[in-house]
Amino acid sequence: MSKILSFLLLWLVIIPLAHGQQRTLKGSLVDLATNAPLGGATVRLESTNVGTSTDDQGKFTLNVPQGAVKLLVTLVGYEDARRTLTAQENDISIKMTSKSSSLETVVVTALGIQRKAKSLTYSTQVVKGDELTKVKDVNPMNNLTGKVSGVQINRSSSGMGGSVNIVLRGFKSNRNNQPLYVIDGLPITNTNGSGNDGAFGGATDRGDILSTLNADDIASINVLKGASASALYGSQGANGAIMITTKKGAEGNLKIDLSSGFTADKAFYLPKLQYRYGQTTPSSEESWGEKGSFADPVKDFYNTGTTFINSLALSGGTNRIQNYFSYANTSNKGILPTNTFKQHSATFRNSMNFFDDKLFFDGSLMYSRQNIHNRPSSGLYFSPIAGLYLFPRGQDFDKYKNFEYFSESRNFYLQDWWNINADAKLTGTHHQQNPYWVLNRIPTDQKRDNIIGQAQFRYVLTDWLSVSARGTLNKRWDHWERRIYAGTQGVLSGLPIDGKLGDNGRYNTDRSESTALYGDLLLTGNKQWAEQLDLNFTAGTSINDLRSNGTVLDLARLAVANKFLMSNIYRDAPMQSATETISRRQIQSLFASANLGYREKVYLDLTARNDWASTLANTPKEHKGYFYWSAGVSTVLNELFKLPSFITYSKLRLSFAQVGNDVAAYSTIPVNTLNTGILTPNVSGPYRGIPLKPEISKSVELGYEGRFWKDRINLDIALYKTNTRDQYFEYQGPVGVVNTTVFLNAGNVENKGIEAALGVTAIKKEHFNWNTGFNFTANRNKILKLAPNLGNTYPMGGNFNVLRLGGSFGDFWAPMFKRDQNGTIIVDDNGRPQIAPAGYIGNNTPKAIVGWTNNVTYKDFGLSFTIDGRFGGKVISITDGYLNSFGVSEESAAARDRGGVDIAAVKMDGTPWQGLLPAQAYYSAVGNRDGIIEGQLYNATNIRMREIALSYKLPIKWQGIKQASISLTGRNLFFFRNDAPYDPELNTTTGVGGQGYDSFALPTTRSYGLNLKVSF
285, pLDDT greater than 90: yes
How distant is the alpha carbon of residue 221 from its chain centre? Answer: 13
Helix, strand, coil percentages (3-state) for the chain, rounded to 5, are 10, 50, 40
Section 795-803 average pLDDT: 86
> Angle, nearest 10°, between helix axes 878-885 and 919-926?
150
CA quadruple 392, 397, 403, 405: dihedral sign: negative
Q: What percent of the chain has pLDDT over 90?
A: 57
346, pLDDT greater than 80: yes
Cα(793)–Cα(990) distance, integer angstroms: 21
> Angle, nearest 10°, between helix axes 890-898 and 878-885?
40
Q: What is the pLDDT of residue 103?
A: 47
844, pLDDT greater than 90: yes
112, pLDDT greater than 80: no
| Neighbouring C-beta atoms of residue 777, cutoff 10 Å | 25
Give residue 33's pLDDT band: very low, low, confident or very high (50, 70, 90).
Answer: low
Section 930-954 average pLDDT: 95
Which residues, including other chains, have CB under 8 Å from residue 911's CB and lie 6 or more apart?
A: none
pLDDT tens digits for range 478-531: 999 999 999 998 888 998 988 889 899 999 999 999 999 999 999 999 888 877
pLDDT tens digits for range 965-1009: 999 999 999 999 999 999 999 888 777 777 899 999 999 999 999
Lowest-confidence region among 663-667, 700-704, 772-776? 663-667
Section 248-253 average pLDDT: 81
196, pLDDT greater than 70: no
Q: What is the pLDDT of residue 970?
A: 96
Cα(85)–Cα(556) distance, integer angstroms: 79
How does DSSP classify residue 1001? P
Cα(972)–Cα(947) distance, integer angstroms: 6
Q: What is the pLDDT of residue 673?
A: 77
Section 15-21 average pLDDT: 43
Cα(667)–Cα(727) distance, integer angstroms: 13
Q: What is the pLDDT of residue 665?
A: 86
Cα(790)–Cα(787) distance, integer angstroms: 6
Q: What is the pLDDT of residue 4?
A: 44
Which residues, including other chains, have CB under 8 Å from residue 277's CB and lie 6 or more apart?
A: 287, 288, 289, 290, 291, 292, 393, 887, 893, 896
Are the C-beta atoms of 602 and 633 separated by less than 8 Å?
Answer: yes
Total residues found in the chain within this entry: 1016
- If DSSP codes are grouped into helix, strand and coil, which group holds residue 376? coil
pLDDT tens digits for range 359-397: 999 999 999 999 999 998 888 888 999 999 999 999 999
Cα(209)–Cα(181) distance, integer angstroms: 10
Cα(510)–Cα(445) distance, integer angstroms: 11
Section 960-967 average pLDDT: 88
Cα(711)–Cα(100) distance, integer angstroms: 9
Are the C-beta atoms of 123 and 777 separated by less than 8 Å?
Answer: no
Among 282, 321, 448, which residue's Cα sits nearest to residue 373?
A: 448
- If DSSP codes are grouped into helix, strand and coil, which group holds residue 130? helix
Section 275-291 average pLDDT: 96
> What is the DSSP secondary-structure string of 158-202?
S-TT--EEEEESS---SS--PPEEEETTEEE------B--TTT--
Cα(410)–Cα(101) distance, integer angstroms: 79
295, pLDDT greater than 60: yes
Are the C-beta atoms of 129 and 243 separated by less than 8 Å?
Answer: no
Q: What is the pLDDT of residue 769?
A: 93
Residue 338 burial (C-beta neighbours within 10 Å; 0-12, 13-18, 19+) = middle
36, pLDDT greater than 80: no
Section 397-407 average pLDDT: 96
- Strands 626-636 and 986-987, sheet pairing: unpaired
Give residue 8's pLDDT band: very low, low, confident or very high (50, 70, 90).
Answer: very low
Instruction: Decide which of 375 and 730 is more confident.
Output: 375
Lowest-confidence region among 76-90, 426-440, 606-620? 76-90
Are the C-beta atoms of 535 and 526 separated by less than 8 Å?
Answer: yes
Q: What separation, in Å, do the N-terminal and C-terminal C-alpha atoms of the chain show?
A: 21
Partnered with residue 219 across adjacent β-strands are none
Q: What is the pLDDT of residue 269?
A: 92
> What is the DSSP secondary-structure string of 232-281?
GGGGGGTT-EEEEEEP---SEEEEEEEEEEEEEEEE-S---B--SB--SS
CA dist 204 to 86, 198, 479, 985, Å?
A: 66, 13, 13, 18
Which residues, including other chains, have CB under 8 Å from residue 799's CB and lie 6 or more apart?
A: 197, 198, 876, 988, 989, 993, 994, 995, 996, 997
Instruction: Decide which of 232 and 901 is more confident.
Output: 901
Q: How many CA atoms lie within 13 A of 113 on its CB side?
A: 29
26, pLDDT greater than 60: yes
101, pLDDT greater than 80: no
How does DSSP classify residue 863? E
How distant is the alpha carbon of residue 297 from its chain centre? Answer: 33
Q: What is the pLDDT of residue 636?
A: 93
Angle at alpha carbon of residue 95, lines to 91 and 99, rounded to 5°: 150
Amino acid identity at 420: I
Which residues, including other chains, have CB under 8 Å from residue 864's CB and lie 6 or more apart?
A: 134, 853, 854, 855, 856, 947, 948, 949, 951
Section 814-841 average pLDDT: 96
Instruction: Decide which of 915 and 97 is more confident.
Output: 915
Lowest-confidence region among 660-674, 867-881, 895-909? 660-674
Highest mean pLDDT among 29-33, 556-560, 733-737: 556-560
Q: What is the pLDDT of residue 1?
A: 42
Section 928-934 average pLDDT: 90
Cα(498)–Cα(31) distance, integer angstroms: 80
- If DSSP codes are grouped into helix, strand and coil, which group holds residue 1010? strand
Are the C-beta atoms of 349 and 452 separated by less than 8 Å?
Answer: no
Which residues, including other chains, have CB under 8 Å from residue 501's CB and lie 6 or more apart?
A: 557, 570
Residue 282 burial (C-beta neighbours within 10 Å; 0-12, 13-18, 19+) = exposed
Q: What is the pLDDT of residue 102?
A: 40
Highest mean pLDDT among 97-111, 520-534, 548-562, 986-1000: 548-562
Section 864-873 average pLDDT: 96
Cα(124)–Cα(703) distance, integer angstroms: 11
How does 488-527 read in b/e, with b if 16+ C-beta sit within 10 Å?
Answer: bbeebbbbeeeeebbbbbbbbbbbbebbbbbbbebebbbe
Are the C-beta atoms of 889 and 922 separated by less than 8 Å?
Answer: no
Q: What is the pLDDT of residue 792?
A: 77
Instruction: Decide which of 19 and 757 is more confident.
Output: 757
Give residue 43's pLDDT band: very low, low, confident or very high (50, 70, 90).
Answer: confident
3-state secondary structure 874-922: EEEEHHHHHHHHCCCEHHHHHHHHHCCECCCEEECCCCECCCCECHHHH
Phi, psi at 775, each rounded to 5°:
-125, 130
Are the C-beta atoms of 275 and 294 separated by less than 8 Å?
Answer: yes
Q: What is the pLDDT of residue 737?
A: 67
How distant is the alpha carbon of residue 28 from its chain centre? Answer: 37
Among 681, 618, 627, 629, which residue's Cα sits nearest to residue 657?
A: 629
Cα(671)–Cα(685) distance, integer angstroms: 10
CA dist 134 to 54, 152, 503, 987, 1012, Å?
A: 19, 21, 51, 25, 10
CA gyration radius, the chain: 31
Section 872-895 average pLDDT: 96
Cα(272)–Cα(288) distance, integer angstroms: 16
Section 473-480 average pLDDT: 95
Q: What is the pLDDT of residue 56?
A: 65
What is the overall mean pLDDT for the chain? 89
- If DSSP codes are grouped into helix, strand and coil, which group holds residue 562? coil
Instruction: Decide which of 279 and 111 is more confident.
Output: 279
Helical segments of 320-430, H only: 385-390
Are the C-beta atoms of 223 and 153 separated by less than 8 Å?
Answer: no
- If DSSP codes are grouped into helix, strand and coil, which group holds residue 464? coil
Among 379, 504, 373, 381, which residue's Cα sits nearest to residue 438?
A: 381
123, pLDDT greater than 50: yes
Amino acid identity at 206: R
Q: What is the pLDDT of residue 19?
A: 39
Q: What percent of the chain has pLDDT over 70?
A: 95
559, pLDDT greater than 80: yes
Are the C-beta atoms of 656 and 588 separated by less than 8 Å?
Answer: no
